[in-house]
Every structure is written in structure tokens, then in C-alpha cells.
Amino acid sequence: MADNHPHVRGKMDIRAQNETFDLFWSLTKWGTIFVVLTLILMAIFLV
């Protein structure tokens, strides 16, 4: 089935994939910052 449509490099629209990756990266970055700040505040106020 795949032989009917040969692959042409650079023809696929990847905007959706780029937007998803940007969202994932943003959530990962801010989630990590939030966890680190929470741990720092816990170390300061709970010890």
C-alpha cells in the first residue's frame, strides 16, 4: 500500500507536531520549576 505514494522529503505539514512539542516543553519546564520551588520552600519552612 505504501508503494503507491512515494515519500517526498519536506512535503508534510508539521505545524501541529511543533505546537504539541512546544506545549510539552513548556509544561515540562514550568512543572519542574514549580516542583523545585515547592521543595525549596518546604525545606525552608518545614525544617
15-29 tens-digit pLDDT: 999 999 999 999 999
Alpha helices in the chain (DSSP H): 15-45
Cell numbers describing residue 29: 519546564
Kindly state whether residue 10 falls inside one of the protein's structural domains.
no
Neighbours of 38 (CB within 10 A): 10
Looking at the domain assignment, is residue 45 inside a domain?
A: yes
**For residue 2, is pLDDT > 70?**
no
Task: Please report which confidence band the pLDDT of residue 44 belongs to, taking 50, 70 and 90 as the band edges.
Answer: very high
Residue 33 lies in a domain: yes
Predicted confidence (pLDDT) at residue 43 exceeds the cutoff of 90: yes
Average pLDDT over the chain, rounded to whole? 90
User: Domains in the chain: how many in total?
Assistant: 1
41 within domain boundaries: yes
Set of cell numbers at residue 6: 512515494
Instruction: State the residue range of the domain holding 35.
Output: 21-47
Output the nine-digit C-alpha cell for 36.
523545585
| pTM, to two decimals | 0.69
Would you say residue 9 lies in a domain?
Answer: no
